[in-house]
Structure 1
Amino acid sequence: MTDSLQQRIETALSQIHHPRLGTDVVRADVVRDVATTTDGKVRLTLVLAAEDDATLVRDVRHAVEGVDGVTNVRVDVMDPAQYDAARGDKRAANLAAAGRSAPARALPVMDAAPSRPATPAAPQPVNYPELGKIIAVSSGKGGVGKSTVAVNLALALAQRGARVGIMDADVYGPNLPRMLGVDEPPPVRDQKIQPLEAHGLKIMSIGFMIERDQPAIWRGPIVMKVITQFLRDVAWGQLDYLIVDMPPGTGDAQLSLVQATNVHGGVIVTTPQQVAVGDALRGVKMFERVGVPVLGIVENMSYLENPETGKPIAVFGSGGGQRLADEVGVPLLGQVPIDPRIVEGGDTGRPIVAAEPNASASRALIAVAERVAARVAERYGAERAAR
């Protein structure tokens, strides 16, 4: 059984082309120390040079995740020098100098005695008590209004009297500058980055530091550095909540955040249709695997209110958020209706909770904030009294 799983993993990896080396990743010998357990857990090291395409990490992970019998995948990324130093592998260095690659290696079983020392452990999360409760707002796919929910959740918590910061971890598509109406380089004082402020929130985004049309073509280690710097080197002051707007999906930014600090809860945003719910389910499972409690599900774009009767019109179907919440055993935090003023507010830097607090969508988002605060209080104790 174990041999069969090893063979399937090697076959899947042999389909991944390494652009720089012109062959598959198995023959290129960049996948090292692949280890499996009898219950389908897989751990491997991917050796990437600085000039290699970082999408190889994603491709390797997805290929192994798709192998029948695999239940969990961990990919440790190291550059050649790090790998050789950690392993004391002089043979690999000599082969590289000679322009040759090592032959493909057998895949060991974790339960058997390893032929090499174990890969160094992942970095331990750092606790930042001054940041209060760190809440990650995530989604399985783009276009479901995740950033809209994150911004208005932060505003609604601030309206309750809490001290709130919001951090843009969507380094590939930062939207907070436009949505909150602030966009200038943050000042630096006493070697600390000063967050910008708007609507009573402290805000940090990579969008403040790069040109609007500049793509962030960054590999995982750089994403980790950006997120760590935003946590450690920004003068947030004392917060009650730090809301983190994550990029869609389950990639490097999500992993970097949970490795960098202790995340107190995740909020998953979806829309009612089944394709979005299926992607959101993967977001829930990602949080579960890395030990982050899921506070609940927000169903965005739930319905359109008939302007004449006020009755809901299910434009994108109905019930998807509730079905997901029931499936994973967490509460449905709220259903946010479609409202053109949400789009207008996001484009003009006037989020709907601040601009139209009595709108149906605002009331739904404020209710979401109240339920998030209640869920956090259940797990960690009551929030600081409102000032």
Structure 2
Amino acid sequence: MILAVCGGKGGVGKSTVSLNLARELGAVAVDADLATPDLPRGRGPDLHDVLAGRAAPLEAVEAVDEIDLLPCGRTLAGARAADLTELPKTLELVDRQFGRVVVDCPAGLARDVGYQIHGADAVVLVTTPDRPALLNAFRTRHLAGELDTPVASVVVNRATADEDREIAARAEDELGAPTTLVPRREPLAESFQAGTPLRDHDPDCGALTAFETLTERIEESERQIAEDAEPV
């Protein structure tokens, strides 16, 4: 299963969700934000190299601590040389080998994330409780619908108050997918800055429960997608 983690607005925590969801699912994390990547750096060939035809997709996957990662390069020249039309095929090859792939998408809409969403089996929408982020999540939901990619789950990140639960409930109704609240916790921010999933950085942090819940919902969506794909 290939999951595209996106949301439209930058700074809502897509990379944090991607890193932790990949760890919980035992998936390969693919940093597909070609211009401003946030997942840990690699030591060998990266997604820039793959999309420019300089490396094979499986050659670029490496173990970084407790997760498998297909990292992205950090140079503008590398981003410009990358052929995004090759991304869906790259994701399919990695998925075929490893079974699950979590794609950290760039901020933005339309062509910014179109290839990432098109190459995925399902989308995880990430937003914060503020209005601009929620509006962008709705726009991304519309884009996913145009590309026939279902929304598996919604994450309301950095939740702090009871009213955020009400916002999450409304978002679940309007976006048509189960919503998980990820609370604002300092260890979560610290773990991402260290490039380490929360489970390995601070397994006693309360935010880990949210990622466990999200994982269960993704696995249920995965089963549903598999059933829908079975021939009648």
Same fold (TM over 0.5): yes
1:54-74 alpha-carbon deviations (Å, 9 max, x no partner): xxxxxxxxxxxxxxxxxxxxx
> 1:198 Cα deviation (Å)?
2.1
The equivalent of 2:80 in structure 1 is 218
Q: Secondary structure at the match of 2:70?
A: strand
Amino acid at match of 1:218: R
- Give yes or no for contact 1:168–1:174 (8 Å, CA) kept in 2: yes
- Give yes or no for contact 2:4–2:117 (8 Å, CA) kept in 1: no
Match of 1:353 among 179, 183, 199: 199
The equivalent of 1:227 in structure 2 is 87
Q: Secondary structure at the match of 2:143?
A: helix
Runs (4 or more) in structure 1 with deviation over 4 Å come to 214-217, 234-237
The equivalent of 1:54 in structure 2 is none
Match of 1:338 among 167, 180, 184: 184
1:48-104 alpha-carbon deviations (Å, 9 max, x no partner): xxxxxxxxxxxxxxxxxxxxxxxxxxxxxxxxxxxxxxxxxxxxxxxxxxxxxxxxx
Task: Report the Cα distance in structure 2 between the residues aligned to 1:174 and 1:345, rounded to whole angstroms.
Answer: 17
The equivalent of 1:206 in structure 2 is 72
Q: Secondary structure at the match of 2:97?
A: coil
Task: Report the Cα distance in structure 1 between the residues aligned to 2:24 and 2:94, rounded to whole angstroms.
Answer: 22
Match of 2:166 among 277, 295, 319: 319
> 1:258 Cα deviation (Å)?
4.7
Amino acid at match of 2:99: D
> 1:238 Cα deviation (Å)?
2.3
RMSD: 2.8
Amino acid at match of 2:159: S
> 1:235 Cα deviation (Å)?
6.5
Q: Secondary structure at the match of 1:379?
A: helix
Greater relative contact order structure (CA < 8 Å, 6+ sep): 2
Task: Report the Cα distance in structure 2 between the residues aligned to 1:217 and 1:169, rounded to whole angstroms.
Answer: 10
Task: Report the Cα distance in structure 2 between the residues aligned to 1:330 and 1:236, rounded to whole angstroms.
Answer: 23
The equivalent of 1:302 in structure 2 is 159
Identity value in percent: 27
- Give yes or no for contact 1:194–1:235 (8 Å, CA) kept in 2: no
Amino acid at match of 1:157: L
Task: Report the Cα distance in structure 2 between the residues aligned to 1:376 and 1:359, rounded to whole angstroms.
Answer: 27
Match of 2:145 among 288, 306, 321: 288
Q: Secondary structure at the match of 1:322?
A: helix
- Give yes or no for contact 1:138–1:266 (8 Å, CA) kept in 2: yes
The equivalent of 2:175 in structure 1 is 328
Task: Report the Cα distance in structure 2 between the residues aligned to 1:223 and 1:343, rounded to whole angstroms.
Answer: 32
Task: Report the Cα distance in structure 2 between the residues aligned to 1:359 and 1:235, rounded to whole angstroms.
Answer: 31
Q: Does 1:255 align with 2:117?
A: no
> 1:295 Cα deviation (Å)?
0.7
- Give yes or no for contact 1:140–1:250 (8 Å, CA) kept in 2: yes
Distance verdict in 2 for CA 1:239–1:285, change over 3 Å? same
The equivalent of 2:36 in structure 1 is 173
Structure 2 residues without counterparts, runs of 5 or longer: 50-54, 228-232
The equivalent of 1:16 in structure 2 is none
Q: Secondary structure at the match of 1:206?
A: coil
Match of 2:132 among 269, 272, 275: 275
Task: Report the Cα distance in structure 1 between the residues aligned to 2:89 and 2:96, rounded to whole angstroms.
Answer: 15
- Give yes or no for contact 1:195–1:202 (8 Å, CA) kept in 2: yes
Amino acid at match of 1:231: L
Task: Report the Cα distance in structure 2 between the residues aligned to 1:356 and 1:135, rounded to whole angstroms.
Answer: 25
The equivalent of 2:20 in structure 1 is 152
Task: Report the Cα distance in structure 1 between the residues aligned to 2:103 and 2:184, rounded to whole angstroms.
Answer: 23
Structure 1 residues without counterparts, runs of 5 or longer: 1-132, 159-163, 304-312, 382-387
The equivalent of 1:369 in structure 2 is 215
Q: State the TM-score, normalizing by the size of structure 2.
A: 0.82
The equivalent of 1:194 in structure 2 is 60
